[in-house]
Structure 1
Amino acid sequence: MRTVPYVNLPAQYAEEKAVLAPVIDAALASGQWIGGPLVEQFEQAAARYIGVPHVVSVASGTDALILALRALDIGAGDEVITPPNSFVASTAAIFFAGATPVFADVQADQNIDPAAIEAAITPRTRAIMPVHLTGRVADMDAIMRIATKHNLAVIEDAAQAMGSRYNNRHAGAIGHIGAFSAHPLKNLNAMGDAGFLATSDAAVADRLRRLRNNGLIDRNTVAEWGVVSRLDNVQAGILSHRLTHLDAVVAARRANAQAYRQRLNARTIFMPPCLPAEFNSFHTFVIQVDRRDELQRHLGERGIGTAIHYPVPIHLQPAARDLGHKAGDFPATERQAQRILTLPINQFLTGDDIDYVAETVNGFCA
């Protein structure tokens, strides 16, 4: 039976092994496994790519979100507006910072609805955290107008959007801070957990560097209580290499997305259109269909890997019960959660793979 894997990390490693082996060996042989030139080189290269003066690397995308909130002094008594259809880390970071998440529903493209943001603002609102879901940048022009009007910070959850742009500005470079993940499943991926933050504010960058390293300003002086969230040299070397190939990875995924759009039957399958302002890096390719669970089983039985991002909205998770939400509070999010299905989009797919997936989906949905 033909198989089409949802992800293909073995193929990525096989392609890079000859190049990455000496990168990893050099990082280990240096004897400096945390901090130092390799980490600095990655941060500088990522800053150039994103178009900001400062990138600060950390141990994960979740840590990036938590430290972004802390660097802006957002905590107890404050509210942060965010969508309920993200990965749970977006909301968890707000809780870990001591603040309260306030949800705003989403539009048909799964990104947060600016009108819902405006309606959710209260005197306690301190920040907006849009999530660039699937690699599609949220409507940042509208969000920044709202933030300016109400004097709010904007933290971009760009965990899925490295390589994406909005009106020719990179994701993570539009708000006050951009938070990125370099988890193995991301377009720019480490061989383990990793993350980083982007900002144009030098004071914020300095504080992020301090917060990620126990709050130390030198070996013996603790300026404030921090955490340990550092990118190691091996991952920094891997990310520096992979960053040089990111545009090619994004181009391949965009080509796969376009091939799907040409082959899938738009009469029975909803695919959010790409608007002129958007340059989607397609971390995922999500369709919306009726009988989603049946379709997923049908594809699995035919060797096609899929995923659901995400089947249970955050406001309906057990951990969120104290927020007092119930089914029906965010109808767009809840309807999409029943219909969304993520198809394979990885850069190692062939044209035959795309044809097979599209034909199988179309056949079921007919």
Structure 2
Amino acid sequence: MKGQRISNMSFTFMLCFFFLLVVQLLSLATRSTAAAGSEVPAIIVFGDSSVDAGNNNFIPTVARSNFEPYGRDFQGGKPTGRFSNGRIPTDFISEAFRIKSYIPAYLDPKYNISDFATGVTFASAASGYDNATSDVLSVIPSWKQLEYYKTYQKSLRAYLGETAASRTISEALHMMSFGTNDFLENYYAMPGGRSSEYSPQQYQDFLVGIAGNFIRQLYGLGARKISLGGLPPMGCLPLERATNIAGGNECVGRYNDVAIEFNAKLANLTMSLNMELPGIRLVFSNPYYMLLYIIKNPARFGFKSTSVACCGTGMFEMGYACRRGNMFSCSDASKYVFWDSFHPSEKTNGIIADHVVKTALAKFLE
């Protein structure tokens, strides 16, 4: 009888041991899976208003959106400096990579290196590749964004330690989104400026050269995973359509043609740099055709308006013209492809981000 009790106790012990072993193995498998999906530990962003989360709030410029109704659909319903009613594409991308639901602005004093260690944006609304573009509204030029990045790296090394920081930098996804302002706020908007120096094709080449040098500098600073963003169909922005009176308020074809040509050159640059720089994983993220498809087929996505934005009359307003109390602003931004005359709504940003993640950025999730 005693031997039977010992035998039963042994069996019970073995059963418990086996159960604990299974739990441990499942836990390890879960952690391994999570780690596999977290090969990108941070998302680091450079660019313009398409990816600025509020840096312009802290510099002397009129290119701001830190007031209502901007941000009315963001967490807490408060404006952050994002040129949207809610989140911007890089916020959605960060969430898709299971990092965090939004990426903070580097100049925002609410955040510190513990927040920036997993994602930060140095972007500045109205900025461009060309320094002359940033000068138009006195915003942060691309070279200054790189300087901020260098300072960030020093802070990251102090916070994580040299080895861990270097690993984070090499594994982080670095995203670039410049170009639209170079054409619409500079080249075509400033008579006697760049348009008197370059033909549209020459200016494209000039910008591609800057983009290439920017990527080489990122590479020299340790970045290995980089996304080079392309131009949207900029002739279809509400502001451009509203001023295209002779064209019946349709998309401005020549602007879209320039975007297609420029994107092709960026794609070629991507291939060239992948061969030039050992170990780099550079991808070209092209929003052009997805956004154009949404504009041409709005009902498929639940939109009702493509040529007119939500804010104000939807034709000319952005920034300070989109003040709270504007009697014309829409009540439901999810029905509009564009939030203001220049920037997509949060819903559109989410669709574009999902497309980019499933195409260009998918290789970083493998």
Normalised by the length of structure 2, the TM-score is 0.26
Would you tell me which structure has more strand in proportion to its own residues?
1
Would you tell me which structure has more helix in proportion to its own residues?
2
Normalised by the length of structure 1, the TM-score is 0.26
